[in-house]
Each structure stands twice: as C-alpha cells, then as structure tokens.
Chain A
C-alpha cells in the first residue's frame, strides 16, 4: 500500500511553490468489502481496495482539477491542474476565509468493519435470508451488504493538513413476490457510520418485509389525484431532502440571479411550526464529520426557522460570492471528483402533534411509509414510498400499492399542516448529485401531514 501520509508531506512542499490563487490536494486510501445474495444463494463476495488522490487549483476564478490512482510524477499532476486553472480563469478568485487547520481527527472509528470476519457477516445475512425464504409466496430476493473504511488527507496552500477517517456500513434488502405475472417488491435499507450493531437484530423487520411483499399482490392501486397524505419519519426525511434540501445547496443559486430572488432570506416557505436543519456536526450519523472536503469545520445550519428561509449550504466559493458565512458543506464522493455543495444530516425538527391526532380528522387520505427513492428538479420533486395504506375516517385502513408523490416545493411546504413529535433519522440513504453518487447522508423527520398532495395512480 502507498503511504498517503508521506505522499501528503511531499505534496505540501510542491503546493507551496505554486503561483496560483489557491491550490489543494486530497489523498484517500480505502477498503471495502461486500456480500450480496440473490434468491437463496450468496452470489458475490468481494474486496475492493483503492488509493488515489487529486489536486485542485484556482486561478482568477477558474478551476483546474486532476485526479489519479498513480502517485508517479506528482509535480506533473500539480502542474497540469495549475495549467488548466490558468486556462479557465478570466475573472477574480473568491473563497470565504477559513483558518488553516493542522489536525489528525482519528479515533472516531472504533473498529474497521472491513476487518471483521467474513464468516460472521455471512452468518448474520444467512439468517436474514432464511427468514425471507420461510415466507411463502416469495419469488426472489436480494440482500446487499457493504462496508468500508476510508482514511483521507486534505491539504492546501494556506497550510491546512487534515487527516480524517470514516467507516460505513450499509444493508439493503429487497423482496420480490410474484403471482400470475404480477410482481411486487418491498425493501428496506439501513446503515451506520461503521457500527455493525446497527444492522443486527433485524429479524422481525425482515419477516414483516417479506410478508408485506406478498400482501401487496392482493393490494389495489390507488386512484391518481390529490390526497391528504401522512408521511412516516423515513419518507418525510426523504421528502425534506428532495423537496427542500437540494434547493438550499448554494451552487444552484449563487450565479443565478432568478434563483437568488426565489431563495431570498426571510421568505416564508411554510407555517411557523416548520424548522429544517442540516448539520454534519451532529455526531454519529452517516453524514457527520468534523471538517468538510475543503477543510471547513462542520456547522449546524438552520435552513428554515419558523417557516422562514434563514440559511443555506455553502462551499467556500459559494459563501464568498453570496457574502455569507461558509457552512462546511463541500463534499466529494471520492478523490475522483472535486468537492461540491452537499447535504449532510438533514431533518425537520419535531413539533407537538401525536400520530393519532394527525390522522384523526382525515376522512380519506394516504399513509405513506418507508422509501424507494426520490428526485428533484428544484421546483418539482417526486419521491416514492415503500409502503402505503389508506386512511379512512381517522384510522389506518387497507394496504395499497406503494405510491409515488409529486409536487411543487413552494406550495407543498406551505401545505404541511401538522408536524409530529417523533423525530427519527433514516441512515439508509445515499444521495446523488451530478455524477457523484452515492454520498453517505442521513435525513429525518417526525411524522408530517401534507394537504393536497398529488399522488400517481390508475
């Protein structure tokens, strides 16, 4: 294995000599292991080791970026990034001030999950797979387990030299039931920043999942149209991530005059009960860290407070260009890509409404639980549930096929009229932006109720 610390020290020397406005480098060493099951069989087991790095240079507002696996000719790679930046730069370089940091942030990972015996991982997953296949009516299933450990070094021309580590554990289970050509699926996804305990003791959840997939074959599809919808904490977390979170990423805003008008500070986005936060500084979640990939310390940022827009997520560049404070949200999925503005742990703060009160006065509505996926175009978003039930006369009624919900963010946030008291963080998601996917994030919320939500159906 390459010694990335020694390479970092060597690079720091080279960076210091460059005549550009700013230059930084990332070095990364990672190990991953995965086990995946399809149907009754363990299908694939593998190990992935990677080392690589990049150099990013800024000259007159233009960026040059070079990523590599081979550490040969580092000076040449730095020179290429500098040359590229100069070729692009025609204006002025602006980066928000961040004090240089020299720090080793190690020790947060108690145990490298990749090093745990494969036999133990297999035993756990074998048990889950047995539960799935004890359920009658199952056609096929997949279990995907992946863990990883990463050591990263960040250094820049201002003198920062930060060493950080992170671990990650993910489990995705998908169960497919079939009858007469009709195919139904149910899935779950859990994760943690390294602790293997988070994916243990899921026997009951997996049993429920398998039975739910089979039950869906009997479930009707809802009629498409507008409904009052209650989202569980998992799906509401996906909703806040998709519908609002991406909109608060300043790289969509900072050079777009009209977006800036839409995203004016103080603008009313929702009722006074609505508070939305993004924070990498909350410890122990998949989106947590001490320094982002530009060496900026993590913060806790209110995006919406009492219904009003009060903050947004920044890199050093977007913060400088919008004259706001950097928030430490510049992240790259790996050394292959430059850092861009990303979410970390995003959630709706809990309110005071109990679940029972929330559904009590709904004559006909939909209770949507768990997630399949979500995406946004900024104005419009879609997200899909893993499970759905009708709400009739204030009670949860029959299961229906999972639903896809869509809406316009500006009206939908206003249409949230109840926020529950039961915040829960979902750690099973990965976020994609451009080609950088999947980035570990978490999102969460209490139960929420949305009026007039557009639901796809027959």
Chain B
C-alpha cells in the first residue's frame, strides 16, 4: 500500500489507495435440498490519483504490480475530470461496531442446520412448496490511505439468512420469501420462516380487484420494491447538482406528508451497511433527508460536495469506478398506526408486499409501475386473498404528498432499508381480475 502511494507520488501530485479483501462462505439449498457450498476470496486494490488537477483511476485484483496500476491511473488522468476536492487528512472516526468475531465461530454444519430448519418449517406448513434457501457468512477488511496523511482501516463481519419458496398449481405460481442480514450471526430460523408462513397464510385464497384507483398499504418489502428507488436517486447529491432531482431545489420545503421522516444512517451498530467511514475515508454520520415532510438534506461524496458547495456526508461509495454518492442505509421513521388499524380503515383496497418491475421506469421522475407479484385484496378491513394479473402505477411524489398513516412496526428489508408500512389513500390499479 505504502509502495503504491510512494510510486504514485512520483507521477502525480495526490493519490489515494483503497484496499478491500473479503472472504465469504455460502451454503445453498436448491429445491428443498442442500446443493452447494461456496467460498469466495476476493482482493482488490484501487488507486485514484490527481495529476495536474485531473483525476485518474485504476483498479486491479492483485497487489503484485504496483507500477502497472500507477501507469494505468496516470494514463486516464490526462482525460479525467478536474478534481475539486482535497483528500481528507488524518481524523478520528466514530465508533461504529460492525465486527462480531462469533460469525467466524458458526460452523458449516451450523449453517447447514439453519437452512434445513428453515426449509423443514416451511414444508411442514405447505407440503408442495419448493424452496431455495441460503445462509452466508463472511468478513471484509477495508484499508484507505492517501497522500494527505488520511488513513482508515476497519473490519466487518456479516451473516445472512434467506429463503424463497414457489408454490405451483397448474400454471398458477405463488412466490414467497424473506431474507435478513446482520453483522451478528443470525441463528434463529424463525426470523425468516415467520414471515414466509404469514405470506403463505394470507395468499391461500384468491381475490379479484377492480381497475380503478384504490387505497393501498405498502408493507416494508412493498416500500422497498415500489417507492425507494426514486427516493434514492432524488436525494443523491449528483442528481441534485445537475438539476435532475425533482426535489433538488426544494430544500426546506414541505414536499411530503408531515407523517414522513427519512434519514440515511451509516452508524447503526452491527448493521451490514454501517461503517466508521465511507470509501473515501470521510467519517460516517446520520444525515436527515426528510424531517416531518420537509426536505432537509442530500447525500454527497467529496467531489460532488465540492462542486455543489456542500460538505461530504460520508456517502462516497465505489462500484467499479470512482466513488459516487450512494445511500448507506435509509431509515424511515415509524408512525403511530398498527397494521391492523390501517387495514381496518380500508373498505376496498390493496396490500402490496412485492411489486415487480418498478425500477424499470422513469425512476428519476418518481414514476413507477409494476406487476403485483405478491399482494392482497382488502375488503371491509380484512385481507380476503391474494391478487393476480394486477398492475399498479403512480408517482412517488404525488403518492407521498398525502399519506393516511405510517405504521409503527419498522422492519429491515435487505441491508439498506429500515421502514414501517406506509398507507396511501389512492393508487391507480389495472387488473385482469
């Protein structure tokens, strides 16, 4: 690492090295049976340089050829964008607990038992279901160092459990599923099966919905599959800077219902998306985005923040290229209504558990449209059955301007969203019955 930095310093004025290595073990069950064990060992080194004011970038999987890495980064710098930021200097990072050594103590046998237990529980409820399931565990190490003296290092553990079931009857297919992740070992199969059995119960009967606007409750997975893509792009500092975010000029404005509050938080203990600093070495924090319906912030990395005249919020994240602003974990504040109270309020409506295809439209504009892959019809305050051949469409900004209630029970969906159910007064529904 030091070798790369010192080599880079000969060719460029500033440089930063980002090292990640990870090892992950996965146990896969396919069609109700143990199928495969996988171990993935991964190393990568990325080098960002600033040469004559311009950014260059290269990455490689082996540390053995520092000269070539430096050459590649320097070559791209002649065409690179102008660096508006400075690399962060040495700083003190917040204490964010993301490593639990006991993850490594979970044996492969334990992981196999967990998968078997999840599948057995689901099969005991519904004999004809076909389940794919998985348990994963692993660790990641991250090291960052730059020529301004900034340096960071942390280790993270992760563990996840998941199950997807398909129940086929003629050509009718029902898909249920749940997954959970943590930096702690997750050793209770009921974390998954509880939700899967609930979905199977609710989907037992079929019900028809009319083609017209209806009140809708989005469950946490419903929020994740229908609404969150638009919000994630709208609060991205880059969209804001370019004027491509519908809320970019609405800082301090009441854009959403006052029952809605949202923040990004990379500091929650033992959550897979947490970390003491982002991928540029900027300390992690909690960034308010919506406070009681009022737009209150956006997410920035160093370069975007510098261009926007803002401060990095510690949301610089790397994919295969340069860091870019990206949410760590979105948290929607719970409200006061229980799920039953929201249901009781609906004479005729819909509960959306999983919407398929919503990320394929004009996400930036807030428009979404999708097939209700798992959803239930509500009649007179009660779920009466599963809906099929049903499509919903709407606009996130119109929908969240006025909401009936936010649920009081929040739940993690994947690693990056903690949300309660959200109950909206009307959404366009088209159905074949």
**Which chain A residues have a beta carbon within 8 Å of chain B's beta carbons?**
1-2, 32-36, 38-39, 41-52, 62-70, 80-81, 84-85, 87-88, 90, 118-119, 122, 139-140, 176, 178, 181-185, 224-226, 255-256, 258-259, 262, 336, 338, 372-375, 377-384, 401-404, 406-408, 410, 454-458
Contacts and interface: CB of A to CB of B under 8 A. Distances in A.
26 contacts: A2-B64, A34-B321, A35-B79, A43-B322, A44-B55, A45-B57, A46-B57, A47-B73, A49-B59, A62-B37, A63-B35, A64-B36, A65-B36, A80-B39, A88-B34, A176-B242, A178-B243, A224-B211, A224-B429, A258-B128, A380-B173, A383-B357, A406-B357, A454-B389, A457-B369, A457-B428
A68 to B, nearest CB: 4
B68 A88 contact: no
B181 interface: no
Interface in B100-148: 108, 112, 128, 130
Interface-central residue, A41, A181, A372, A456, by most chain B CB under 10 Å: A456
Interface-central residue, B37, B77, B81, B168, by most chain A CB under 10 Å: B37
Interface-central residue, A80, A183, A373, by most chain B CB under 10 Å: A183
Interface string B9-45: 0000000000000000000001101111111111110
Given A70-B41, A406-B371, A44 B81 contact: yes
Contact of A338 (B36, B243, B370): B36
A271 B392 CA distance: 30
Interface string B363-380: 011110111010000000
Interface residues of B, number: 81
B321 A36 contact: yes
Interface in B346-388: 356-357, 359-362, 364-367, 369-371, 373, 388
A258 B81 CA distance: 55
Nearest to B397: A181
A119 B72 CA distance: 14
Given A68-B40, A84-B39, 13 more contacts: A49-B68, A62-B36, A66-B38, A66-B41, A68-B42, A80-B39, A87-B108, A88-B35, A122-B79, A384-B357, A404-B391, A454-B430, A457-B430
Contacts of B81: 41-45
Nearest to A336: B40
A382 B370 contact: yes
A207 to B, nearest CB: 20
B75 A118 contact: yes
B173 A46 contact: no
Nearest to A49: B60
Given A70-B43, A178-B243, A404-B370, A87 B173 contact: no
A402 B365 CA distance: 12
A258 B169 CA distance: 7
Nearest to B34: A88
A255 B31 contact: yes
A377 B242 contact: no
B89 to A, nearest CB: 24
Contacts of A33: 76
B340 interface: no
Contact of B432 (A36, A338, A454): A454
B175 A377 contact: yes
Given A49-B68, A65-B38, A69-B41, A140 B242 contact: yes
B276 to A, nearest CB: 25
B407 interface: no
Contacts of B367: 401
B40 A404 contact: no
Interface string B214-253: 0000000000000000000000001100111010000000
Interface string B65-86: 1001100110111111100000
B369 A404 contact: yes
A47 B58 contact: yes
Contact of A46 (B76, B166, B357): B76
Nearest to A381: B371
B393 A69 contact: no
Contacts of B360: 372-375, 382-384, 404
B37 A64 contact: yes
For the complex of A and B, the 4 pairs showing the least CB-CB separation, nearest first, are: A382-B357, A373-B360, A224-B430, A456-B369
